[in-house]
Structure 1
Amino acid sequence: MKTLMTLLKKEFLAQWRGGQLFILVLVFFVIGLMNTALALATPWMLEQIASQDNGLAIQVQAVKLTATMAWEQFFKNLPLAMLCFVFLESQLLTKEYQTGTLILVLTKGLKRSQFLLSKFIFLVTLWTGAYSICWLTTLTYTQYYLGSVNQDDLTLALLAWYGFGLLVVSLLLVASTLATSSSGVLVTLFASLLVFYVLSVFPQSKDYSPILLTEGKALLGEGLDFEDCRQAIYTTGGLILGSLCLSFPLFNRRQL
């Protein structure tokens, strides 16, 4: 446990000094703030559009600001935040390969499994913290300016997206054990996600695709509930466990 804590502390300090941690926090905070701001600006933007086409005037008058609009923006913008997270952390293991620091650490008696476990815990902690900053920022400003939404629906939607993020983290770990460069990690990861998107297109496999967990708008009382997502949740959980079970043997057999 002491060794694990030392590795985690080392990783946090390295990312703080390198600026990745600051950038990640800033991006997730700005996106969280932007969700409410975009919702509040919607009537103004529609008025600007209507000024160029009077035929939209009736539609503009019908617009009513609600908290749901801000949360819809939240789920629309989350892929952008996730993309930033993936790009910043794609070098988590590859930089160790390229600089040779991993060999130095392992020659001092550290087990490969401990090293990889520390990386996974770090990624999970980082995703949890960044995601929390984003949704708490949106929650705070949305409740202040626009009120609240159904808490049960919101909780399900938030947890579903968080679970999808954990899947991306586990896939990022597997990709990092396979590739030797950050570009290779990104290609491997995006190829995996592309498979999930393809599966979500077909009615026979849509309910099992993890992509269903990213349907935040539908989960906010617009057609989807827990029962509709049950199979996707099971699939996502199984993929996370499978990714972890795969990454450790791959890393143990990797030539450094």
Structure 2
Amino acid sequence: MRQYKAFVKKEFLELYRSGKGWIMLAVFFLFGIMAPAFAKLTPFIMEAFSDSLSEAGISMKTMEITAISSWQQFYKNAPLALILFGLVFSSVMTNEYQKGTFVNILTKGMKRWKVIGAKGSVLLTVWTVCYWMSYGTALAYTVYFWDNTEIRYPWHAAGYVYLFGILLITAILFFSSIFNSQAAVLGAVGGSVILFYFLEMIPALSDIIPLRLLAPISILTGGTEPGDFVGAAVTAAVLILLFCLGAVFCFNKKQI
């Protein structure tokens, strides 16, 4: 356990020194504040362009901006936030391969599953802090500007996106236990997401594909119920477990 704690401490120290942790905090804070800010500014933007649009024969209707407008923007930004998170942390293990630091760690007696556990713990901590900070920022400004009581099941919607982020983390760990290069890890993770898109087009599978978790806005408006996303959540949970087990198994067999 001492080795595990020391390795986790090393990972957080590296996050601090490399600036990745601060970058993620800044980016997610920006995403959180952008949603209500964009919603609030939309009427002014439309008014500024109304004259030029009317000259082109395009008439603009008055838009009613409410809390749901802010949340629509927040969940539209969520996939981009996940992409940036994946780009930054897809090298979480490949850098160790290239530097040869795993050799020193493993020869000192640290179990390989602890390496996966430590890496996963750090990524999960970063994702948890960044995501809920972003959500809290969006929530605070949305409540300040509009009546947020009309929103239904806000925590269910937020939780589903958070769950997809955990799925992304375990996918990164799994493919990092197989491939030595960041490009290969990114390609494998991206390929998995593309596969999800194709599978989602099959009507019989659309309700259980994890990508459904990234579109929870209908829960907030009453178009769907939280239970309609349970199938996708269960699939994501199963994949998280399989990715974790697969990462440990493949890393145990990997030549370092």
Q: Secondary structure at the match of 1:51?
A: helix
Q: In the alignment, residue 160 of structure 1 is paired with which amino acid?
A: Y
Q: Secondary structure at the match of 2:205?
A: helix
Give the aligned partner of residue 66 of structure 2: 66
Distance 2:79 2:245 in 1: 26
Tell me, yes or no, if structure 1 residue 18 matches structure 2 residue 18.
yes
Q: In the alignment, residue 196 of structure 2 is paired with which amino acid?
A: F
Give the aligned partner of residue 221 of structure 2: 221
Following superposition, the deviation at residue 53 of structure 1 comes to: 2.3
Alignment root-mean-square deviation, CA: 1.4
Q: How many residues align?
A: 254
Give the aligned partner of residue 254 of structure 1: 254
Counterparts of residues 162-241 of structure 1 (less than 5 Å): 162-241=162-241
TM-score with structure 2 setting the length: 0.95
The answer to whether the Cα contact below 8 Å between 1:210 and 1:233 also exists between their aligned partners in 2 is: yes
The answer to whether the Cα contact below 8 Å between 2:90 and 2:186 also exists between their aligned partners in 1 is: yes
Distance 1:102 1:41 in 2: 50
Q: In the alignment, residue 88 of structure 1 is paired with which amino acid?
A: V
Runs of 4+ aligned structure 1 residues displaced above 4 Å come to 55-58, 149-152
Following superposition, the deviation at residue 219 of structure 1 comes to: 2.1
The answer to whether the Cα contact below 8 Å between 2:50 and 2:60 also exists between their aligned partners in 1 is: no
Distance 1:43 1:150 in 2: 21
The answer to whether the Cα contact below 8 Å between 1:93 and 1:176 also exists between their aligned partners in 2 is: yes
Q: In the alignment, residue 25 of structure 2 is paired with which amino acid?
A: V
Distance 1:68 1:151 in 2: 7
Following superposition, the deviation at residue 206 of structure 1 comes to: 0.1
TM-score with structure 1 setting the length: 0.95
Give the aligned partner of residue 85 of structure 2: 85
Give the aligned partner of residue 107 of structure 1: 107
The answer to whether the Cα contact below 8 Å between 1:153 and 1:221 also exists between their aligned partners in 2 is: no
When structure 1 is superposed on structure 2, of 14-23 and 50-59 the one drifting more is: 50-59
Give the aligned partner of residue 141 of structure 1: 141
Distance 1:227 1:201 in 2: 21
The answer to whether the Cα contact below 8 Å between 1:72 and 1:216 also exists between their aligned partners in 2 is: no
Tell me, yes or no, if structure 1 residue 48 matches structure 2 residue 48.
yes
Q: Secondary structure at the match of 2:11?
A: helix
Q: Sequence identity, in percent?
A: 33
Following superposition, the deviation at residue 57 of structure 1 comes to: 4.8
Following superposition, the deviation at residue 197 of structure 1 comes to: 1.1
The answer to whether the Cα contact below 8 Å between 1:131 and 1:162 also exists between their aligned partners in 2 is: yes
Query: What 5-or-longer segments of structure 1 have no aligned partner?
Result: none
Following superposition, the deviation at residue 73 of structure 1 comes to: 0.5
Q: Deviations over 1:92-142 (max 9, x none)?
A: 100110000000011111111111110111111111111011101111111
Change (3 A) 1:20 1:253: same
Distance 2:60 2:74 in 1: 27
The answer to whether the Cα contact below 8 Å between 1:68 and 1:149 also exists between their aligned partners in 2 is: no
Change (3 A) 1:6 1:149: farther
Following superposition, the deviation at residue 218 of structure 1 comes to: 1.7
